[in-house]
Amino acid sequence: MAEEPQPKWEGKVTAKLIGSTPDQVWPLLEDFCSLNKYLPTIDTCHQVEGVYGQPGLIRYCASTITSSSRGTGEKAIKWCHEKLLAMDPIERCLTYEVVDNNMGFNSYLSTMKVLPIDGDDEHGCQIEWSFVCDPIGGFRFDDLLTYIDSSARSMVEKIGKALQSPDG
């Protein structure tokens, strides 16, 4: 008898950035291969193939993880290739999917949007990060959602600092 497929995981988080408009934040997020500048858990992010800023572009993202199991402190590289599927500068959103990885994703599709807070640029903006994926072995849905929420919050903090710096 065939095993019944598990339902997909779907989630959405938002992180607010007070004092910065969507038009200020979007160019930083729109740079699909600069994720390492704004996501502290990513060590490197660069273009692998495709036309920069265009759907079809594939980026390589990697993080160095130090294992705490058995007290060895061994380092491992966790990586993924992500393909840009859509970019809309008017709506300030992009959609991408994981096409290859060593982190356990069988399918992962994500959309990031930069939106005004309460429909008004005056109060700042928020990054909305939504995803749909197959369940990940060894993870619970809440673990993934917590990780993405923490990542979004770290991202807006770093983007805020970048916008405040003289060369931001």
Per-residue pLDDT of the chain (168 residues; tens, 9 = 90+): 566 677 999 999 999 999 899 999 999 999 999 999 999 889 999 999 999 999 999 999 999 988 766 666 788 999 999 999 999 999 999 999 999 999 999 999 999 999 998 766 677 999 999 999 999 988 999 999 999 999 999 999 999 999 988 765
CA dist 20 and 77 (Å) reads 34
Domains and CATH numbers, the chain: 11-41+86-164 (3.30.530.20)
* Phi, psi (deg, nearest 5) at residue 152: -65, -40
- The residues with which 94 forms a beta bridge, in sequence order, are 87, 112
CA dist 114 and 126 (Å) reads 6
Q: What is the pTM of this model?
A: 0.89
